[in-house]
Structure 1
Amino acid sequence: MYVDLHCHSYYSDGAQTPEYLVSAALERGLTHLALTDHDCLCGVEHLWKTMPRAALPSKQEGWRQLNLIAGVEISCDWNGLEIHVVGLLKELRTPTLDALLKEQQNHRRLRAESIAEKLDAAGTAGVRDYLAALPATALTRSHIADFLVANGTCKNKQKAFKSYLGRRGKAYVAATWASLDRAVNAIQSTGGIAVLAHPSRYPLTRSKLSRLIKDFHAAGGEAMEVSYANLDPTSKKRLLELANEHALYHSCGSDFHTLESGWTALGKYPRLEPSATKNAIWEHPRWHSIVTSGRAVFAQPNEESEP
């Protein structure tokens, strides 16, 4: 089992097409891939239209199968802190999830407009046209940072966040996200599994991180990422301990966004040790139904992928 259950396409803040992700996943030998764009399902819907459910090919030795899982990454609020929850979905659409994502996308558009107004006031125009030309459904600050680099305002994205988009930046606009409980409930409405994303990246003490995981579990969360890109062994061990302490399944993903990022690639993360796989997310009772609700892509042994 070689899974990547967290990655992004250009429908949110990734740089690649959904087709590229599928091709790269096949090339890297992944068995399962979940596309988890921020607050939108457009990338998944795009794949579902072009890749209808496939029956297994005749059993020929060496055929490779990639299972595609519908996913989403929902931004939510926990005690004033932005937290991300990945949803691995059984049903692609439900009224509860649709309503939440519509609100999230609308907030993203309003925030982008507020940032554009502040950039105008600072003498930096043009971001509206830049954003309008993107394929993204979920607009993020990362897109605006790209604009600030592209037009020469900032040397790099880190400078863009520091000078303009971060809390002390000239164009900072606070976000308003759904509650943690509501995000988990929306995922549950699809028959899916809610996964706490990259827990070690939040600016939390050990005790507060434990409290977050406790609240996530109380809200109905069933899994958390215990292995992802750039995670050191000490942090990974601590996350495994916390997951076991709160009876959460173990999930893994690269959080891949772009080829330009040197710290991650699709399928790149520390693999789970055998002792940790007994609680891996693929042991969840609903895992099979989630996988079979998705799509399957097949490649012959001599078929070359060109991601």
Structure 2
Amino acid sequence: MIDLHTHTNKSDGTDSPRELVNKAIVQGLTVLGISDHDTTSSWQEATESLRGNLQLALGSEISCLTEDGISVHMLGLLFDGAHEQMQVMLEETRDGRLPRMRKMVEKMQAAGIDISMADVEAARPEGATLGRPHLADALVNKGVISTRDEAFQGMLNNESEFYVSHAAPTPAQAIAMIRKAGGVAVIAHPFASHRGQILKASDFQELVAAGLNGIEVDHRDQNPEEREMLRSIATELDLVITGSSDYHGSGKLNALAEFQTSPAQWEKLESLADKRRVVRA
């Protein structure tokens, strides 16, 4: 079983890197992709926890914005974690998250919602990359909503009155940096329409020109029709087709390995990195 998109408590998941690796081993995964938001801080603990036959495809899910303000997430896998320019880009993207969060909290307070930055920080694990899931958890803790999923379907949706974008690279810039750092770029859940505005089929040609390697086709946030359309686009553009859980631990309904990548597609994707960076025990 190959799951190339998961999160730990170094961003907005609830499992530590060690706990996630242990769960993957128990479930019999062969390849686990760890892609915390805009950070590589989970890599060391995950690597130190590795044993048995499990292999790690380490990476990061990079927050991007198109020129017309559409939020896009780009999975960078198998890149050189010591690549200085990549780390600068990740740091700058993380830095943009704090003012964004303050603005979202201010908007909610203006609407009479009982929430504060202190509440958000209390819901954020130490050292984790700040994100909307921590605001969702704070809203749950305050009794404003019931679950994270409810938050993302309503108050924290990209179309919500409370949503605020943040400084981020364009998808093409993120792809270029991932490839420059020796990795492979896979666009995450590009047709997840319930999250807000999505890309159009015609947008993928530009991303391929920038160096895109694959499309995350099989994902719970994309319905069967959307998956079929993405599968056709990937086939037409000769892109790798991946399936992933986007597992966040207890924070979301997504179950580890609920969607998977075929061994043949994974082999093709891995071959496109400039070096063999899969971590083995």
Please state which band the TM-score falls in when normalised by the shorter chain: 0.7 to 0.9
Paired residue secondary structure (1:242): helix
2:267 matches 1:282: yes
Aligned counterpart, 1:91: 80
Amino acid at match of 2:71: E
For structure 1, the residue ranges without an aligned partner over 5 or more in a row are 55-63, 298-307
For residues 256 and 10 of structure 2, the distance between their equivalents in structure 1, rounded to whole angstroms, comes to: 17
Aligned counterpart, 2:182: 191
Where in structure 2 are the equivalents of 1:117-196 lying within 5 Å? 117-121=106-110, 122=112, 124-128=114-118, 130-131=120-121, 134-157=125-148, 160=151, 164-166=155-157, 171-196=162-187
Counterpart of 2:259 (choices 269, 282, 296) is 269
The 3 A distance-change label for structure 1 pair 256 and 269 is same
* CA RMSD of superposed structures (Å): 2.8
Paired residue secondary structure (1:69): strand
Paired residue secondary structure (1:85): strand
Aligned counterpart, 1:57: none
The 3 A distance-change label for structure 1 pair 293 and 75 is same
Amino acid at match of 1:220: G
Amino acid at match of 2:169: A
Question: Identity rate of aligned residues, in percent?
Answer: 28
Question: How far off is 1:93 after superposition?
Answer: 2.3
Preserved CA contact (<8 Å) 2:155 2:162: yes
2:280 matches 1:296: yes
What are the superposed Cα offsets for residues 258-285 of structure 1, whole Å, 9 maximum, x if unpaired?
23644x211111665xxxx65x131246
For residues 222 and 107 of structure 2, the distance between their equivalents in structure 1, rounded to whole angstroms, comes to: 36
Aligned counterpart, 2:63: 75
The 3 A distance-change label for structure 1 pair 120 and 281 is same
The 3 A distance-change label for structure 1 pair 77 and 130 is closer
Preserved CA contact (<8 Å) 1:77 1:180: yes
Paired residue secondary structure (1:240): helix
* TM-score normalised over the length of structure 1: 0.78
Amino acid at match of 2:259: Y
CA radius of gyration, larger in: 1
Query: Which stretch has the larger CA shift, 90-99 or 4-13?
Result: 90-99
Query: Which stretch has the larger CA shift, 111-120 or 160-169?
Result: 160-169
The 3 A distance-change label for structure 1 pair 142 and 44 is same
What are the superposed Cα offsets for residues 231-260 of structure 1, whole Å, 9 maximum, x if unpaired?
554443332211011111122211111236
Question: How far off is 1:159 after superposition?
Answer: 5.2
For residues 170 and 34 of structure 2, the distance between their equivalents in structure 1, rounded to whole angstroms, comes to: 22
* TM-score normalised over the length of structure 2: 0.85
Query: Which stretch has the larger CA shift, 117-126 or 71-80?
Result: 117-126
Amino acid at match of 1:30: L
Aligned counterpart, 1:30: 29
Number of aligned residue pairs: 276
Aligned counterpart, 2:92: 103
Question: How far off is 1:228 after superposition?
Answer: 2.6
What are the superposed Cα offsets for residues 196-228 of structure 1, whole Å, 9 maximum, x if unpaired?
1112214568xx632122121111111111223
Paired residue secondary structure (2:205): helix
For structure 2, the residue ranges without an aligned partner over 5 or more in a row are none
